[in-house]
Amino acid sequence: MTVKSQSKVTLRIGTRGSPLALMQTQMFELRLHSVLPGIKTQVVPIKTSGDWIPQQGDQPLPESEGGKALFAKEIQEALLRGQIDLAVHSMKDLEGKLPADLTIPCMLPREDARDAFLSNIAQNIDELPKGSVVGTASIRRQAFVLARRPDLKVVPLRGNVDTRIEKMNSKTVDATLLAVAGLNRLGKSQMIKTAVPIHEMVPCAGQGAVGIECRRGDAQLISVLSQINHDTTYACVACERAVLTTLGAGCRSPVGVHAELHGLKLRIRAQIAAPDGTGMFRDVEIGHLNGYDDLIRIGHEFGRKLKEKAPAGLFG
């Protein structure tokens, strides 16, 4: 795909069709038009396996073949086939290792990475009455809730943001947890009762970040995307993903990883537990950087330390 003649080119942008995914795609289009004012874009909604699996019930995705990659697989396949030119992803939906011919040269500024607690009967997890039902599609959130409150019942809760809020309002569940970033982007921040501090519930790698994926051979497009890349977000998410890669793509244990960069000082947190909340393990790494490569190195080293220090049996 060449972008030399902007007025004659239409960039096809692949994305999931959920309200949040379409909102994030609009955010990207605005930034793209800031560097290519004459470019034409076409949004191509693509239904992923993760979107149609809920029709079969509220089965948790980690028990389905492919795990969280189910929200990206069909979009990446369309990109590889040349049916689209770019893909917009929530970075938390991507596996640690991308297909060999694809790359992510651009990320948008990261939103609030914390998890949001939503409920009509309590202000936070600790205030929920014993036996309350918490709904979540995330095995990480399930594990961390049960580690804190083993007296609660956690059930699978699938669907987009509106669907989950509706099920809470209809008293199917007493509470749920969603990403603060998604609620903010959809203008639903008023639904948040508590934004859970990162040190209490470490987000999944990439939470709050939006990445733009393209083919490795599209050099001119990569050059354009690099102009709108948010360097700090890119660096921190790259570090988080390096941790995941070292832990192993086949790891089904609930893992939270979050990196923060302050100048040349990096703070990276990790939280791991078994799905039933047992074996909870936390660790923090402080690093001082000389350059971008240090982020990747520190991420891999931290991942190796986690495998050595965490309780046996947490990694599959």
123 and 69 together in one domain = no
Number of domains the chain is built from:
3
- pLDDT tens readout for residues 135-177: 998 999 999 999 999 999 999 998 889 999 999 999 999 999 9
290 and 310 together in one domain = yes
Asked about 115 being catalytic, the answer comes back as no
Are 88 and 15 in contact by the 8 Å Cβ rule? The answer is: yes
Distances (CA, A) of 148 to 155, 169, 176, 204, 234: 16, 24, 15, 17, 31
134 and 167 together in one domain = yes
Taking every pair of Cα atoms in the chain, the longest distance, rounded to a whole number of angstroms, is: 63
Are 88 and 210 in contact by the 8 Å Cβ rule? The answer is: yes
Q: Among 51, 85, 93, 218, which one carries the catalytic annotation?
A: 93
Query: Domain of 222: which CATH number?
Result: 3.40.190.10
154 and 42 together in one domain = no
Rounded Cα distance, 235 and 224, in Å: 18
204 part of a folded domain: no
Query: Domain of 279: which CATH number?
Result: 3.30.160.40
78 part of a folded domain: yes
Residue 307 φ/ψ, nearest 5 degrees: -65, -35
3 and 105 together in one domain = yes
- pLDDT tens readout for residues 1-52: 555 555 567 999 999 999 999 999 999 999 999 999 989 999 999 988 766 5
**What is the extent of the structural domain holding 125?**
115-196
Beta carbons within 10 angstroms of residue 241's beta carbon? 24
255 and 314 together in one domain = yes
Residue with tokens 């990659």: 69
12 part of a folded domain: yes
- pLDDT tens readout for residues 247-276: 875 455 689 999 999 888 899 999 999 999
Instruction: Please indicate, yes or no, whether the overall pTM of this predicted structure exceeds 0.75.
Output: yes
